[in-house]
Structure 1
Amino acid sequence: MKKISLLIIALLAAVVLAACNDSSAASDKDTVKVKIGVNGSDGAQWPVLKEKAAKEGIEIELIEFADYTLPNNALAQGDIDLNAFQHISFLSQYVKESGNDLVPIGSTMFAPLGVYSEKIKDISEIKKGDKIAIPDDPSNQARALRLLESADLITLSDSFGLFGDPSGIVENPLNLDIIPMVAQQTPRVLPDVTASIINNGVAGQAGFSPGEDPIFKEEGKDESIYPYVNTIVARGEDKNNETYTRIVELYQEEDIQKVITEDTKGGSALVILTQEQLDKTFEDLIK
């Protein structure tokens, strides 16, 4: 009798264990894993987003890249599923040059370019012959030059456009020495230049507060900022992927806005564009 009881107990234990294993396997199967390429994963919004997504069966893995072109190449090649590091203007330039089919599927934040300095406290203190470092990628280079123009330091040609370079400067009354360089280098050269125009994300990685430290920065106004709104990007074939769309929706919720504002001390703001606004801005830029 004891042997029969022990056999029954053993069989029941095996059934329970098998059920647990099946449940675990089903749980793993139900979880959708999404790799998102980023350029610096220290933003406080990411842990919040990952936690929210996990509750809906979406496991987000952040893949960090040190160079601006690498996340787009990795996405085009299928090494990652999405990326979230660039504005629409940068993406359009990449697509035009590479021919790869990448598209914006959701807006994230507007992060103003800022002028930083270790030598002066106000943009008006820039004097004749001073050296100014700017990012050298086409979209941010043009954007930085427009920022200098808005500070009345230079004048650009009427045909300058969104991807102009220093050759588009028609007036430089202070004979400023404007030095394009890789964006990640712009904080590092501060001891050697009067001022440096630094991307918001790069500034944050370098220990600056983009909301408090710039001596001058961009001001976002209406549709003029659309090309510089950061985005979540997918391959063209995945534009309507329901999981990716849900990630965008989770990112654009109020709690993420609050985290971004607090984390950047007001240096960045969540901007929600409709898909139609994204598509129009992107398509206008890649013509």
Structure 2
Amino acid sequence: MDEPVTIKIGASAVPHTEVLEFAAPLLEERGITLEIETFTDYILPNTALRDGDIDVNYFQTPGYLAQQIEEYDYDFVSLGEVHAEPIGIYSKEYSSLEELPEGAEIIFSDSISDHGRILPIFERAGLIELDVEEGELATIDDISSNPKNLVFGSQQVEARFLAPSFENGEGDAVAINTNYALEGGVDIEQYGIAFESEDVLQPNLIVVRAEDQDRPEFQVLVEVLQSEEVRQFIEEQYNGAVIPMG
């Protein structure tokens, strides 16, 4: 950059803030100071971006971004992908989806966009069938066959409370976003019984207000976050639980 600039960026705690903290010295070399604000939910990062309290956010997937734009009429655009976090199904009682008993209760997020990522995991395992058009996100209403009468969505909680629900022994299985599983100290290797397949992963995006999309410092930010150095950090730090993209 010709002149030093500061970017205020809002992000989830893990892995987003950790990735940004690693990238900060690389950005300093390019004349950019990163001011990171960590959020614990999925609502405030977008309202903060809309209100101008931050310049960029880094926490959401394309499906969630599209849902938020439709619901709140945000004028946001994505500048690029950084990483993906496969949603996992976790259980302390069962070691596979196939072991889930008749009427097993599945707890998951209250975010509709997450439902479209979780339900195909069960369909892929042959436990349910979905009647949904290609390219559309599935909802609970799209379940056309459920031989085991699995109970989906009787408990829908904010994504940040899923790890505590799991640790408290609620439900037979809990679908947890990887960032909250990591943040909540869930043992992914021990308790994860199924995950999104890699061919349908939803990347986490760098999002800005549409009016700011051509600012050169944002292009540098994306370039650094998609660099080989950051990719290697993600691979080594999260041991496959977080997948670099972009």
Same fold (TM over 0.5): yes
Q: In the alignment, does 2:227 pair up with 1:253? A: yes
Q: In the alignment, does 2:50 pair up with 1:76? A: yes
Query: 2: CA distance between counterparts of 1:80 and 1:252?
Result: 21
The alpha carbon displacement at 1:212 in A equals 6.4
**Aligned Cα root-mean-square deviation (Å):** 1.9
The alpha carbon displacement at 1:164 in A equals 3.4
1:193-212 superposed matches below 5 A:
193-210=171-188
Partner of 1:171: 145
Compared CA separation, residues 181 and 161, structure 1 to 2 (3 A): farther
Q: In the alignment, does 2:5 pair up with 1:38? A: no
Partner of 1:111: 85
> Size of the alignment, in residue pairs?
240
The alpha carbon displacement at 1:31 in A equals 2.5
Of residues 187, 196, 212 in structure 2, which corresponds to 1:218?
A: 196
Q: Which has the higher helix share?
A: 1
Counterpart residue type for residue 79 of structure 1: D
Compared CA separation, residues 42 and 90, structure 1 to 2 (3 A): closer
SS in 2 for 1:215: strand
Of residues 50, 53, 65 in structure 1, which corresponds to 2:27?
A: 53
Query: 1: CA distance between counterparts of 2:226 and 2:189?
Result: 21
Query: 2: CA distance between counterparts of 1:57 and 1:50?
Result: 10
For structure 1, list consecutive stretches of 5 or more residues without a partner in the other structure: 1-28, 273-287
For structure 2, list consecutive stretches of 5 or more residues without a partner in the other structure: none
Compared CA separation, residues 76 and 158, structure 1 to 2 (3 A): same
Do the aligned residues in 2 keep the contact of 1:211 with 1:268 (CA within 8 Å)?
Answer: no
Do the aligned residues in 2 keep the contact of 1:33 with 1:58 (CA within 8 Å)?
Answer: yes
Q: Deviations over 1:140-181 (max 9, x none)?
A: 122111222112111111338644321111111111111232
SS in 2 for 1:93: helix
Of residues 133, 137, 152 in structure 1, which corresponds to 2:111?
A: 137
SS in 2 for 1:147: helix
Question: Which structure carries more relative contact order (alpha carbon 8 Å, separation 6+)?
Answer: 2
Q: TM-score, normalised by structure 2?
A: 0.91
Q: Deviations over 1:240-259 (max 9, x none)?
A: 11001101000111111111
Q: Which has the higher strand share?
A: 2
Q: In the alignment, does 2:161 pair up with 1:185? A: yes
Query: 1: CA distance between counterparts of 2:120 and 2:147?
Result: 16
Do the aligned residues in 1 keep the contact of 2:132 with 2:138 (CA within 8 Å)?
Answer: no
Counterpart residue type for residue 37 of structure 1: G
Of residues 241, 266, 279 in structure 1, which corresponds to 2:240?
A: 266
> How high is the sequence identity, in percent, across the aligned residues?
30
